[in-house]
């Protein structure tokens, strides 16, 4: 089933649209004001809404409706989905909760919705979701306010929880990271991770996919999907519950869902992170940079302490800092005073003048042993940030470069903005830079190695 009509609609109906500010049907109408396609509020007891004629039912709309936002309570949801199916709607977002996450009765209603969706080739998102946004097309199919400030870009978010979906959206806005689509799956009764990942992989606006996962019935298939697509996919797994309902053996009772995600991500080469911040940082790095050819990292730091903190993080994740070639070392020696550390990591002390700095960074990026460049530099008023240098270097060498810095908000916020405009991910702490680079390295290894697990013989 294609998800394009769901996520890239040209026309939207809001079912249960309302003039009552406390209602989801109002929030949904309010949020799609940024959408410049056709809008059809549906509610038999309301007249005009937000300047649009209000319809009694979806089948009265004399247009092909791509997306319907279902703002009705759960009991009437199956009927609404049925009407949408008959009206040849492309996709429905079901905001209502109280389905399979709640009671047996809810599970039955949900099953009804899924059966209807399949029958009519209708894509249902949810239930129990806050919806999605498509920032490039101005589609805010969510009932949460103020997401119109989320910058458009090429990082896609797929969250199992609608709440985390919005956490990531707002953090993207805070961190100036552009979002293509941010999708909350909710109960994922119909539209699931694998389908959405496959859709986003083919989406021209998306260069990097971020997953927030609480738990899925078929985690192995999810990992296989992540590995199989062209677009880098990274995972933030939350929750450490057991996966075996019952185990007779000691080891069986020790099998935890989180440990298996860790093992499985490592085996399939899918970068796995430990916070929303890391997830967003990794997404930013993948979306901005060319894919690395390998996993060997060169670190250039202006200060020893942060450099050690970064090296520690890199090594903990098993990332390699290779020795640089003799020629590169000679170039570094020529530029830097004798006191600094000219192996990898390279400690420059206060960075040299821009021309020398460019020569130095260029020599390192061009070194055969180096696949990824990470530069850290504490803020110093008199020292210019190497925005243009790194931009040119990535362009010339194809080696991805990540920048990290720390300093007063005024100066650094502005610098981060400039780096991002130049396509260089920039992070405001040593560790964040390190973790982004770790993900790039993990992904590069995945691209060059075969998985260490053979295809599942697990269908039971």
| Cα 98 to Cα 108: distance, rounded to the nearest angstrom | 11
Cβ proximity to another protein: between 167 and 219 the closer is 219
Q: Is 300 helix (H, G, I), strand (E, B) or coil?
A: strand
If one asks whether residue 453 binds another protein (CB under 8 A), the answer comes out as yes
Please tell me what DSSP assigns to residue 229.
Answer: S
What are the Cα distances from residue 167, in Å, to 25, 276, 358, 416? 22, 8, 38, 21
Cα 455 off chain centre by: 26
252 is a site residue for another protein (CB under 8 A): yes
- Asked if 238 interacts with another protein (CB under 8 A), we say no
| 34 belongs to the binding site for another protein (CB under 8 A) | no
Please name the residues in contact with 366: beta carbons below 8 A apart, sequence gap of 6 or more: 328, 397, 399
Strand arrangement, sheet containing 208-213: 139-142, 131-134, 179-184, 152-159, 208-213, 233-237, 272-273
Binding flag, residue 249, another protein (CB under 8 A): yes
Q: Please identify, using beta-carbon distances, which residue of 382 and 460 lies nearer to another protein.
A: 460
- Residue 244 found at the interface with another protein (CB under 8 A): yes
Contacts of 265 (CB under 8 A, 6+ apart): 223, 235, 237, 271, 272
Q: Indicate which single residue of 20, 45, 248, 409 sits in contact with another protein (rule: CB under 8 A).
A: 248
243 part of the interface to another protein, by CB under 8 A: yes
Which one of 59-67, 258-266, 347-355, 361-369 is the stretch in contact with another protein (CB under 8 A)?
258-266
**Is residue 460 near another protein by the rule CB under 8 A?**
yes
Q: How many residues touch another protein (CB under 8 A)?
A: 35
| Contact between 310 and 431 (Cβ < 8 Å) | yes
Counting contacts by CB under 8 A, is residue 231 touching another protein? no
**Binding of residue 260 to another protein (CB under 8 A):** yes
**Residue 216 is a binding residue for another protein (CB under 8 A):** yes
Under the criterion CB under 8 A, does residue 338 sit at the interface with another protein? no
Smallest gap from Cβ 330 to another protein, in A, equals 37
Smallest distance, Å, CB 460 to another protein?
6
CB of residue 215 to another protein, shortest distance in Å: 7
CB of 58 to another protein, least distance (A): 37
Dist. CA 425–CA 439, nearest whole Å: 13
Given the complex with another protein, which of 405 and 438 has the nearer CB atom?
438
Q: Tell me if 240 contacts another protein by CB under 8 A.
A: no
Q: In whole angstroms, how far apart are CA 302 and each of 66, 307, 377?
A: 53, 8, 5
Q: In Å, how far are 36, 316, 386 from 309, measured between CA atoms?
A: 48, 11, 21
Burial of 341 by CB count in 10 Å (0-12 exposed, 13-18 middle, 19+ buried)?
middle
CB-count exposure of residue 204 (10 Å: 0-12, 13-18, 19+): exposed
- Decide if residue 247 touches another protein (CB under 8 A): yes
Quote the CA–CA distance of 30 and 18 in Å, as a whole number: 10
**Please, what is the minimum distance in Å from the beta carbon of residue 235 to another protein?**
14
- Of 262, 274, 395, 417, the one binding another protein by CB under 8 A: 262
Cis upstream peptide for 127 (omega within 30°): yes
Nearest alpha-carbon partner for 199 in 170, 237, 225, 167: 225
Q: Which of 57, 263 has the CB closer to another protein?
A: 263
The Cα–Cα gap between 41 and 51 comes to 10
- 450 is an interface residue for another protein by CB under 8 A: no
In whole angstroms, how close is the CB of 230 to another protein at the nearest point? 23
By beta-carbon proximity to another protein, the closer residue of 45 and 458 is: 458
Judged by beta carbon, residue 45 or residue 454, the one nearer another protein is 454
What is the smallest separation between the CB atom of 218 and another protein, expressed in angstroms?
6
* Alpha-carbon gap, residue 280 to 288, rounded angstroms: 12
Q: Which of residues 196-215 bind another protein (CB under 8 A)?
A: 215
Pick between residue 187 and residue 301 the one whose CB is nearest to another protein: 187
Interacting residue with another protein among 79, 254, 304, 355 (CB under 8 A)? 254
Q: How far is the CB of 129 from another protein (least distance, A)?
A: 21
Which 8-state DSSP code applies to residue 77?
H
228 binds another protein (CB under 8 A): no
Least distance CB 225 / another protein (angstroms): 14
Rounded CA separation 55/42 (Å): 5
Which residues make beta-bridge pairs with 155? 179, 208
- What residue ranges bind another protein (CB under 8 A)? 215-220, 223, 243-255, 257, 259-260, 262-264, 267, 452-454, 456-460
């Amino acid at each position: 089933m294609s998800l394009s009509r769901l996520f890239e609609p040209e026309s939207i109906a809001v079912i249960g649209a309302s003039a009552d500010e406390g209602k989801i049907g109002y929030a949904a109408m309010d949020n799609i004001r940024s959408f410049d396609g056709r809008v059809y509020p549906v509610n038999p007891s309301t007249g005009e809404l937000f300047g649009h004629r209000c319809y009694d039912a979806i089948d009265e709309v004399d247009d092909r409706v791509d997306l319907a936002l279902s703002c009705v309570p759960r009991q009437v949801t199956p009927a609404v989905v049925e009407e949408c199916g008959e009206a040849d709607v492309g996709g429905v977002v079901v905001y209502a909760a109280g389905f399979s996450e709640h009671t047996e009765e809810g599970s039955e209603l949900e099953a009804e919705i899924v059966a209807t969706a399949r029958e009519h080739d209708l894509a249902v998102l949810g239930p129990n979701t806050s919806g999605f946004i498509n920032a490039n097309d101005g589609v805010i199919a969510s009932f949460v306010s103020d997401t119109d400030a989320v910058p458009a870009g090429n990082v896609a978010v797929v969250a199992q929880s609608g709440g985390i979906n919005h956490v990531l959206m707002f953090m993207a806005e805070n961190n100036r990271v552009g979002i293509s689509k941010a999708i909350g799956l909710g109960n994922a009764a119909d539209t699931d991770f694998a389908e959405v990942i496959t859709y986003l992989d083919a989406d021209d606006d998306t260069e990097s996919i971020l997953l927030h996962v609480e738990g899925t019935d078929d985690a192995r298939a999810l990992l296989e999907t992540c590995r199989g697509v062209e677009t880098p996919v990274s995972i933030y797994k939350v929750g450490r519950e057991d996966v075996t309902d019952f185990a007779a053996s000691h080891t069986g009772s020790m099998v935890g869902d989180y440990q298996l995600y860790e093992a499985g991500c490592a085996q399939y080469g899918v970068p796995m992170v430990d916070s929303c911040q890391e997830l967003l940082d990794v997404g930013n790095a993948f979306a901005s940079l060319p894919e690395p050819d390998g996993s060997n990292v060169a670190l250039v730091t202006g200060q020893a302490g942060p450099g050690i903190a970064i090296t520690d993080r890199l090594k903990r994740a098993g990332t390699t800092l290779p020795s640089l070639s003799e020629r590169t070392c000679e170039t570094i020696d020529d530029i830097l005073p004798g006191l600094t550390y000219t192996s990898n990591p390279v400690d420059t002390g206060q960075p040299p003048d821009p021309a020398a700095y460019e020569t130095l960074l260029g020599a390192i990026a061009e070194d055969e042993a180096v696949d990824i460049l990470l530069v850290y530099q504490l803020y110093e008023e008199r020292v210019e940030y190497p925005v243009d240098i790194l931009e040119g270097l990535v362009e010339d060498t194809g080696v991805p470069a990540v920048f990290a810095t720390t300093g007063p908000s005024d100066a650094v916020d502005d610098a981060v903005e400039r780096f991002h405009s130049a396509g260089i991910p920039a992070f405001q702490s040593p560790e964040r830079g390190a973790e982004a680079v770790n993900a790039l390295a993990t992904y590069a290894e995945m691209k060059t190695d075969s998985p260490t697990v053979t295809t599942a013989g697990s269908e039971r």
